[in-house]
Structure 1
Amino acid sequence: MEKECIVLAGGLGTRLRGTVDDVPKCMAPVAGRPFLHYLFDYLERNGFSRVVLSLGYMHETVERWAASQVRPFRIAASVEPTPLGTGGAIALAAEKTTGRQVYVMNGDTFFDADTDAMRGVHEHMGAAATLALKPMNDFSRYGTVETDDGGRIRTFREKRHCRHGLINGGIYLLDLESGLFDGLGGRFSFETDVLQARVSGTVLGGYVSAGYFIDIGVPEDYRQANADFEAMFAHDEKH
């Protein structure tokens, strides 16, 4: 069975303007390489066989870079004709996938979660979607995700200061035959119109991982990613 992932790589990176050059957010340079390079390394380590890049803003830049990559997985591109929101982008890119299960990853976050263990949770629960969740302490930038004792997601909370909690780590496993997108089309938000709107009547699983997490969407964390990745991947050969 194919192990497929959609990478949401169409973001403009408006909050990084003035910090990085005018490039798609996934191509922001981190420790000397495009951020997408590290996501590709992660996908390679996790045994993916096919990757669909969901593109929009400056898609040619991403496509040129992707064409230069020599990877053990096949790479395809799905280009939004107009901005479709995260949900519309996933639905469009899913047309280029082949199986019932597909992972989805945000192109501006890196979360070192075990995708095979995540699939085990997903299948055990019979979930329509499973989210990789990251435990965090003393934060206010992210909303929180609350689960019951069995790991089923019950509530999504708005951003507020929390002493500790679980956040959405930006990796999902979807069952494309579950009806998750039924009644939705065109432009819509995956987070709001699917996850939050359907949490009460849909089995959404939570897979908790303590793996390294960073979101480069704001300058402070972008700078932190540069420092972290320089330390973590300094031994890798630059290419």
Structure 2
Amino acid sequence: MLPQEAPTEAIVLAGGFGTRLRSVVSDVPKPLAPVAGRPFLAWLLDALQRGGLRRVVLATGYLGEMVEAAIGSRHGTLDIAYVREEQPLGTGGSLWAAMAATSGDRVFALNGDTWQGANYAAMARSAPEADLVFAVRPVEDRARYGSVLLEEGRLVGLREKGEHGPGLVNSGIYLIRRELLAKRPLEGAFSFEKEILERPEGLDIRGFEVDGRFIDIGTPEDFSRAQTALPEWSARA
């Protein structure tokens, strides 16, 4: 469970078009893609519930009405709320808009098409005063992803894709302090990665290392792998 006064809210970005997945899933938005008989988003919400969170804001867009109909206002012990974008806002614009529907000083944020084994309580304790804490995971070859450069746990830069060798890569779980929005008062559509992670100057951004259990259902190959990997990982969580 999360420690006392730790963040208990999360934002899940669930508005993607799922273009690369349409050859195998075309009738529902990507977060609702069926994995082992359940929507992928249900597995993700299970993990947030196990982590001690109590409220989740789903930031929807494309086919958002289907997400709301499938998930509703409760998932287990989680209260579910919705913020729907009328036009694409990018990862950053969606997050900034959804923050208005939260009340905590710090809020978790994650993508609705990836699942990562993470200890939310430990992540919350790791750097409580940081503007942003984000999950990183070790890989044997960083060429596919690009990588993260940390010095004493602080983000100092990013490396481009294509460089081979071991490294740390972004796993897409963020813990955002509300004051970050005032420090970067951006409006409309923007990329969280480009405007925040690629411009860490003046911000206290920390990396938090998580284990290697990670899956992104954005491609047919990884979607197929999720059918067995997610039930197995969830059983061991």
TM-score, structure 2 as length reference? 0.91
CA drift of 1:179 comes to: 4.2
Q: Distance in 2 between matches of 1:233 and 1:156?
A: 31
The counterpart of 2:198, out of the listed 196, 201, 224, is 196
Gap runs ≥5 in structure 1: none
Give 1:224's aligned residue: 225
- Are 1:114 and 2:116 counterparts? no
Write the mapping of 1:210-221 to structure 2, written as runs, cut at 5 A.
210-221=211-222
Task: Identify the residue that residue 36 of structure 1 maps to in structure 2.
Answer: 41
Q: 1:56, 1:179 → 2: CA distance?
A: 22
Are 1:185 and 2:187 an aligned pair? yes
> CA–CA distance in 2 between the matches of 1:89 and 1:140?
28
Q: Distance in 2 between matches of 1:105 and 1:180?
A: 20
Contact 2:132 2:176 survives alignment (8 Å): yes
Q: Which residue is equivalent to 1:20?
A: 25
Structure 2 residue 174 is matched with structure 1 residue 172: yes
CA distance in 2, matches of 1:121, 1:232: 24
Aligned residue in 2 for 1:61:
66
Query: Structure 1's 22 and 180: CA in aligned 2 closer, same or farther, altered over 3 A?
Result: farther
Identity %: 44
**Residue matched to 2:10:** 5
Runs ≥4 residues deviating over 6 A? none
**SS of residue in 1 equivalent to 2:228:** helix
1:96 positional shift = 0.5
Matching residue's letter, 2:147: T
Aligned residues, how many?
Answer: 231
1:102 aligns with 2:107: yes
Compared CA separation, residues 230 and 210, structure 1 to 2 (3 A): closer
Indicate conservation of the 8 Å contact 1:3/1:49, yes or no: yes
CA RMSD of aligned residues (A): 1.8
- Cα gap change, 1:101 to 1:12, in 2 (>3 Å): same
Q: Map Cα deviations across residues 109-138 of structure 1 (whole Å, 9 max, x no partner).
A: 101111111111121xx2111110011113
Structure 2: distance between partners of 1:232 and 1:153? 29
Q: Contact 1:139–1:164 (CA<8 Å) still a contact in 2? A: yes
**CA contact 1:136–1:164 (8 Å) conserved in 2:** yes
Q: Give 5+ residue unaligned stretches, structure 2.
A: none
Cα distance in 1 for partners of 2:234, 2:196 equals: 36
TM-score, scaled to structure 1: 0.90
Q: Which residue of 109, 127, 139 maps to 1:136?
A: 139
Shift of 1:200: 2.7
CA deviation after TM superposition for structure 1 residue 231, in Å: 4.0
Query: Deviation at 1:20?
Result: 1.4
| Residues 1:180 and 1:221: Cα distance change in structure 2 (over 3 Å) | farther
